[in-house]
């Protein structure tokens, strides 16, 4: 289901783990390009967060046992402008710089909506059933590092993180070194890279 084959590596990593928990931020679609679909089919459950209500509606239909939330991960609760390429596009973003960089290639029929932002800790706290998260997936179109910094990897006992560190053309993203250093300090090492996505495992 993954765009670059990440899910096969993820399933291999958790081959002896049954009924784990995932956190998928920027989840986009419950099947297409999904790094958590195979886990879900292996009886895992989790939290799926996206800034597109249409995405969350699809998750509510296809993954009713998961917690599916339409939010932007931010530093405070407020309304934030979101730039939409379309209701079924993987590049919708709340990052204005990301929009400005990619608007010539995408966003031909751009429209905006306001979505509520909320701290990740508040979403997690309100759902105490998820005190432990085995796998975290972050694909937030320019906001990946900001979201990563909000994660308490130790408290949640995260074992594997998938996060975008590169562009499709292979060039590193603007926050590549920050992501690398942050995870290194948390005792995570690079497992493998698939296209734009890097997988980091807990040492």
Using left for φ > 0, alpha for ψ between -120 and 50, and beta otherwise, residue 118 falls in beta
Sheet holding 188-194, edge to edge: 67-70, 45-50, 21-25, 135-138, 160-164, 197-202, 188-194
Alpha carbons 38 and 63: distance in angstroms, whole number = 12
pLDDT of residue 179: 97
Place of tokens 């560190």: 165
Virtual torsion, Cα 191, 6, 135, 143, nearest 10 deg: 90
Using left for φ > 0, alpha for ψ between -120 and 50, and beta otherwise, residue 5 falls in left
User: For 176, phi and psi rounded to 5 degrees?
Assistant: -55, -50
What does each of the 203 residues of the chain score in pLDDT, given as a tens digit?
999 999 999 999 999 898 999 999 999 999 999 999 999 999 999 999 999 999 999 999 999 999 999 999 999 999 999 999 999 999 999 999 999 999 988 998 999 999 999 999 888 877 666 789 999 999 998 899 999 999 999 999 999 999 999 988 888 988 999 999 999 999 999 999 999 999 999 99
Average pLDDT, the chain: 94
DSSP, residue by residue, 99-160: HHHHTTTS-TT-EEEEEEEE-HHHHHHT-TT-S--SEEEE--TT-HHHHHTT--HHHHT--E
Q: Is the pTM of this model over 0.85?
A: yes
Place of tokens 């995870």: 183
Dihedral sign from CA coordinates of 36, 42, 44, 45: positive
Bridge partners for 61 per DSSP:
none
Between the two ends of the chain, the Cα-to-Cα distance in Å is: 27
């Amino acid at each position: 289901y993954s765009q670059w084959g990440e899910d096969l590596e993820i399933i291999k990593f958790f081959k002896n783990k049954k009924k784990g928990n995932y956190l998928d931020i920027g989840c986009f679609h419950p099947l297409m390009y999904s790094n958590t679909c195979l886990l879900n089919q292996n009886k895992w459950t989790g939290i799926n967060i996206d800034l597109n209500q249409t995405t969350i509606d699809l998750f509510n239909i296809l993954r009713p046992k998961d917690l599916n939330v339409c939010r932007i991960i931010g530093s405070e609760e407020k309304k934030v402008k979101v730039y939409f390429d379309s209701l079924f596009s993987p590049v919708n973003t709340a990052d204005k710089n990301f929009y400005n960089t990619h608007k010539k290639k995408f966003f031909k029929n751009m429209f905006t909506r306001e979505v509520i932002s909320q701290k990740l800790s508040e979403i997690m706290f309100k759902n105490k059933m998820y005190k432990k998260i085995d796998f975290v997936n972050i694909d937030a179109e320019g906001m990946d590092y900001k979201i990563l910094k909000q994660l308490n990897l130790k408290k949640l006992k995260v074992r594997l993180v998938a996060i975008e560190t590169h562009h499709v053309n292979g060039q590193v993203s603007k926050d590549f070194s920050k992501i690398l250093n942050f995870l290194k300090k948390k005792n995570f090492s690079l497992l493998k890279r698939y296209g734009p996505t890097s997988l980091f495992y807990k040492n």
